[in-house]
Amino acid sequence: MAARGSVAKTLIGTAILQVFPGSFIDSDQKTIRIPTTCEGEPIEIKISMTAAKDLVGGQASSVAASKQAVPQNREMTDEEIAEVKRLVTELGL
């Protein structure tokens, strides 16, 4: 589980870094920080990345998840990046 969790965190972390300009992985290698502003004041949103040992969906989801394809390293498409940026703007983040 630890190896798969590490691979998944790397893939997801890379995708988040692509979407949010100026974001970075903290020195602990377990959190991503996303700089933004709120009411004109600079803030950072901190996202902790840990692989869950138990899936919320229970045993059935665990079995289904284990049969899924191995995560692939892939770049987000320009369309995906544009859609996420649009959503971030609409949400005011």
Given a cut of 80, whether residue 65 has pLDDT beyond it is no
**Closest residue by Cα to residue 77 from 15, 28, 31, 22:** 15
For residue 42, what pLDDT is reported? 93
Domain regions of the chain by residue span: 2-66
Report the pLDDT averaged over residues 75-90: 84
What does each C-alpha distance from 22 to 19, 25, 58 come to in angstroms? Answer: 9, 10, 37
Is the overall model pTM greater than 0.85, yes or no?
A: no
Q: Is 20 exposed, middle or buried (0-12, 13-18, 19+ CB in 10 A)?
A: buried
For residue 68, what pLDDT is reported? 61
pLDDT in tens, 1-51: 567 778 888 888 888 998 898 999 988 888 999 999 988 999 999 999 888
Residues 6+ apart with CB under 8 A from 82: none
